[in-house]
Homo-oligomer: A and B are copies of this chain.
Amino acid sequence: MNKLKVGMISFAHGHAFSYLHSLLALPQVELVGIADEVKSRVEEVVGKHGLAYYADYRDLLAQDSLDAVVICSENAFHAQLTIDAAKAKKHVICEKPLGLSVEEMKRMIDACDENGVKLMTAFPCRYIAAVVNAKAAIDRGEIGRILAIKGTNRGSMPGNWFVEPELSGGGALLDHTVHVMDLMNWFTGSKVTEVYAYAATLFHEELKVDDAGMIHVKFENGVFGVLDTSWSRPKSFPTWGDVTMEIVGTKGSISVDSFAQKTELYNDDAGKGQYLFWGDSMDHHMVESFVDALLSGAPAPISGVDGLRSAEVALAGYESVKLGQPVKL
């Protein structure tokens, strides 16, 4: 088999570790190396798996045999890294949010198009079993026409560069809108036309970014959506957060609890209850679908435009918060 040669750029976002393990587990992938200017972040995995290390990502991109890169940098660097990879003729899967402005995301998409490489936005939630099955049930017509969707993505406070506005581009409203908004876009097959949002720093007063938000959207096809997005789970909570959706249709409704596949474990070593998730790995399915699309010549299963469509809602949300008014897209 002709293996896909993949490199990874930056482990600033912790998802990189999960993606790394998926890449290592896929027989159709050859991992070319890891680029990260902060060597300490990747030292252990580089050593353990005997991988090539690059302090400068441009040295990785310069490898002729490299087919594609996985970008998990701080949000602020997504655009530069993606555009540089495109120019080096490498396919890209980029961690969400795709970018920090509509203009920069368009440049990313254009750069990939012009250089004939594929751009995928990393939305692993599309690969959650409950989500996949909700989508199939909707497509089978089991709830009729979608009328409204409510969602939540409530997590714990990530700290680190996520709370530095110049690196993250925003707080919980940005970080936790994009996943579920992408699912809303996917389920409705429509496009958000209006956004009304609220955001504030409620739980961690010391932060320079918001840690709580609520976002109202109207879709072109009349569907109405509400999304509860926050960094509100305390340390004593049994898990990092949730992704839930209630999809109301003309004939029925579907409730999605993405992480329902769990066991409650009470163990005095941990000192608190814990959820042991036992479902399939969404990250692995996502990485595999990216790899398979590249090997088979199929389009990226989730496009750069999908990433734009979702991030622009969060960005319009901040605009709405500033104005105290709904904002048209």
Chain A residues with a Cβ under 8 A of chain B = 129-130, 133-134, 136-137, 142-143, 147-148, 150, 194, 196, 198, 200, 202-203, 212, 214, 216, 218, 222, 224, 226, 228, 232-238, 248, 250-256, 260-261, 263-268, 270-273, 276, 278-279, 324-326
**What residue in chain B is nearest A214 (Cβ atoms)?**
B226
Q: For A260, what are the chain B residues with a Cβ–Cβ distance below 8 Å? A: 260-261
For A273, give its contact among B147, B237, B250 (CB under 8 Å): B237
For A265, give its contact among B142, B222, B271 (CB under 8 Å): B142
Q: For A226, what are the chain B residues with a Cβ–Cβ distance below 8 Å? A: 214, 226, 228
Q: For A279, what are the chain B residues with a Cβ–Cβ distance below 8 Å? A: 129, 133
Interface centre among A234, A237, A261, A279 (most CB of B within 10 A): A234
* B326 A273 Cβ-Cβ under 8 A: no
* B266 A253 Cβ-Cβ under 8 A: yes
Q: Give Cα A325 to B216, complex, Å.
A: 12
Distance in angstroms from A199 CB to nearest chain B CB is: 10
Q: For A238, what are the chain B residues with a Cβ–Cβ distance below 8 Å? A: 273
* A134 B278 Cβ-Cβ under 8 A: yes
* B278 A129 Cβ-Cβ under 8 A: yes
* B150 A228 Cβ-Cβ under 8 A: yes
Q: Give Cα A328 to B233, complex, Å.
A: 32
Distance in angstroms from A195 CB to nearest chain B CB is: 11
Q: Give Cα A142 to B265, complex, Å.
A: 9
Q: Give Cα A134 to B276, complex, Å.
A: 10
Q: Give Cα A232 to B147, complex, Å.
A: 11
* A266 B250 Cβ-Cβ under 8 A: no
Listed A/B pairs (7) with beta-carbon separation below 8 Å: A130-B278, A214-B226, A236-B266, A236-B267, A238-B273, A261-B261, A273-B273
Q: Give Cα A120 to B261, complex, Å.
A: 29
Distance in angstroms from A242 CB to nearest chain B CB is: 12
Distance in angstroms from A218 CB to nearest chain B CB is: 7
Q: For A278, what are the chain B residues with a Cβ–Cβ distance below 8 Å? A: 129-130, 133-134, 136-137
Q: For A237, what are the chain B residues with a Cβ–Cβ distance below 8 Å? A: 266, 273
Distance in angstroms from A215 CB to nearest chain B CB is: 10
For the complex of A and B, list the 9 residue pairs with the smallest distance between their C-beta atoms, beginning with the closest.
A133-B278, A272-B272, A147-B202, A252-B267, A236-B266, A252-B265, A234-B266, A237-B266, A234-B268
Q: Give Cα A261 to B280, complex, Å.
A: 13
Q: For A270, what are the chain B residues with a Cβ–Cβ distance below 8 Å? A: 236
* B142 A276 Cβ-Cβ under 8 A: yes
Q: For A130, what are the chain B residues with a Cβ–Cβ distance below 8 Å? A: 261, 278
Interface centre among A136, A137, A148, A237 (most CB of B within 10 A): A148
* B129 A272 Cβ-Cβ under 8 A: no
